[in-house]
Amino acid sequence: MNSEKPLGSVIQGSLSQGLEVRLHPDISVEEMRVGKFLVVQGTRSRFFCLLTDVSLGTANPRIMANPPSAEDSFLQEILAGSGTYGTVELSPMLMFTPSFGEGGSGRGGEGEESFSGKSSLASFEAQTSSELELLPVKTIPSHFSQVFEATERDFRTVFGWEDDPHRRNFSIGQPLDMDVPVCIDLDRFVERSNGIFGKSGTGKSFLTRLLISGIIRKQAGVNLMFDMHSEYGWEAVSEGKHFSTVKGLAQLFPGQVEIYTLDSESTKRRGVLHAQELYLSYDQIEIEDLRLVGHELGLSDASLDNANILYSEFGRSWIVQLLNMSNEDITMFCEEKQGHKGSIMALQRKLMRLDSLKYMRSACPHNYIDRILQSLDAGKHVVVEFGSQSNMLSYMLATNMITRRIHSTYVKKAEQFLQTKNPLDRPRQLVITIEEAHRFLDSSIVHQTIFGTIAREMRKYFVTLLVVDQRPSGIDNEVMSQVGTRITCLLNDEKDIDAIFTGVSGAGSLRSVLAKLDSKQQALVLGHAVPMPVVVRTRPYDQKFYSEIGDTDWESMPDEQVFAAAEAAKADLGF
């Protein structure tokens, strides 16, 4: 379609319910798609809108009672545009009102210029990016205002462009029917917790790799990724009829991404040569960690209460002491400390399951979490792989243990920075990526987990979350209301759709947009990092993307050079 040719006229609407537009006779309703970005040219302002619904109308009820036959194309053509017509519903998201030159206030009176037709476009183009001020919609255009296809200029005005020297913009994809990038502001993205949602098979992992690649390339922060299925660090299998693989972050950014593994055998079998082993010890487990995995271990509240008694007696070594107790020892302990024998024996029996976790040790020769912190402090991005240890008990326990200690360190650093105000003391912005997020952020446990704390704190201590989940309805509503930017692929469950729009104004009109997404490579982006909601065809994660964003590929080097580069990176961190 010609972007300078009007598509229709505003015939009615309201600020709360949106605008109804009647399409012009020569515009086919089939050219309209839900999620399309359109522009309404008002008398004084330009309105940027999202198409939320498409419908058919007739001027006379007799047409519906006696429609022309399929063979009567002549009568159909006569009725088209007059007796029958198409309408679309638009939801205004942003407005731009230009400031006129001297003598023109834009409010009437002498010197005022009208903002319509060719003069409006000239005025709009005359504004530079620094002068443009896009405002929330406080009014609506007048009757019969013309609706136009959004141009590349409109997209750049609203979403910016990747090479903007003043902002860290990153292209996440393109509009459904145009070849122009849609960018998110990474500085705004990392300063709040964010979410990537969608049912299984919609491409959440690819979107996550895209966004983390952008953060690495634009240096918007450092990433700590808990890679449940070994998809982010090294190459992973791509979905499709034919077997193929996609590159991991360590291959795109050699020297910038560190891989730590909780299952070194699995990592080596996949051909990853430079991964560092990661072990955790029983004395690092706190009762809050066990409370998080209480469902997986089958722990009762009575058992956790008795765990507090054991901790008071033995301190950090309480789990090792408990596992080594005989029945007689437990009986004597309960008599002396008023513990419940049955609950402590059940706790001992269930904690023995932790012996099956490959990464758990009675004691560790090094503090591996400190090594991760050193990597993050040095500006390295860390991927923690789980390999065969990817069951929910293992994933939730290790993720919570590591995150709680890293967050504690960041709190101390942030407090020091607030005291000194020295830019050198400012912690690097940290983004922690977790999968199966509803397991950590469920309403019943969210107030007891470190992830609920981080989500509620926003950027107070320079730590935010990137949650990846197919069941957003399982996440606590308070936490969902704090999620800054939501990138949502197709969802079918009504509860999940409701959860996505928690705390979002104008959610009613956006529901239909989300429900009409394709199952692959389409997403609705809304929230803090974009000026207005937009549907995008997500950027392909392919060879073209690799060449645009990545560094030298590890695979292009001989194995000896790969190993040498990895050893050099570890030497830089003092390992």
CA distance 182 to 526: 12
The pLDDT of 357-362, averaged and rounded, is 87
SS (H, E, C) 355-415: HHCCCEECCCCCCHHHHHHHHHHCCCEEEEECCCCCCHHHHHHHHHHHHHHHHHHHHHHHH
- pLDDT band for position 551 (50/70/90)? low
Q: Are residues 93 and 77 in the same domain?
A: yes
Q: Which two tokens stand for residue 249?
A: 């972050």
Distance of CA 315 to the CA centre of its chain: 39
CA distance 356 to 349: 13
* Spatial CA neighbour of 403 closest among 354, 471, 479, 455: 455
Q: Residue 569 has what pLDDT?
A: 44
Q: What are phi and psi of 53, to 5 degrees?
A: -160, 155
Amino acid at 485: T
- Number of folded domains that form the chain: 3
Q: Residue 558 has what pLDDT?
A: 46
Q: Residue 239 has what pLDDT?
A: 67
Q: Are residues 312 and 196 in the same domain?
A: no
Q: Indicate whether 133 belongs to any domain.
A: yes
Q: Indicate whether 518 belongs to any domain.
A: no
Q: Are residues 496 and 407 in the same domain?
A: yes
Q: Are residues 414 and 428 in the same domain?
A: yes
Q: Indicate whether 80 belongs to any domain.
A: yes
- pLDDT band for position 382 (50/70/90)? very high
> For residues 382 and 258, is the Cβ–Cβ distance under 8 A?
yes
CA distance 168 to 564: 32
Q: Indicate whether 391 belongs to any domain.
A: yes
Q: Which two tokens stand for residue 498?
A: 């409701």
Q: Are residues 287 and 274 in the same domain?
A: no
Range of the domain at 58: 8-159
Instruction: Look at 142 and 273; give whichever has higher pLDDT.
Output: 142
Q: Are residues 289 and 337 in the same domain?
A: yes
> Of the candidates 328, 356, 384, which is a domain's last residue?
356
Q: Are residues 465 and 380 in the same domain?
A: yes
Q: Convert the pLDDT of each residue in 494-549 to its tens digit.
A: 899 888 988 777 677 788 888 888 888 899 999 899 998 889 999 988 888 888 88
Residue 173's beta-bridge partner residues? 182, 538
Q: Residue 240 has what pLDDT?
A: 60
Q: Residue 144 has what pLDDT?
A: 92
Q: Residue 148 has what pLDDT?
A: 94
Q: Convert the pLDDT of each residue in 217-247 to its tens digit.
A: 999 999 999 988 888 888 877 766 667 788 8
Q: Are residues 115 and 142 in the same domain?
A: yes
> Of the candidates 144, 159, 174, which is a domain's last residue?
159
CA distance 426 to 146: 50
Q: Are residues 29 and 96 in the same domain?
A: yes
Residue 80's beta-bridge partner residues? 84
Q: Indicate whether 164 belongs to any domain.
A: no
Q: Indicate whether 205 belongs to any domain.
A: yes
- pLDDT band for position 201 (50/70/90)? confident
Q: Are residues 272 and 332 in the same domain?
A: no
Residue 174's beta-bridge partner residues? 537
| CATH of residue 419 | 3.40.50.300
> Of the candidates 305, 330, 356, which is a domain's last residue?
356
Q: Are residues 97 and 39 in the same domain?
A: yes
Q: Indicate whether 515 belongs to any domain.
A: no
Q: Indicate whether 1 belongs to any domain.
A: no
CA distance 98 to 170: 27
Q: Are residues 93 and 131 in the same domain?
A: yes
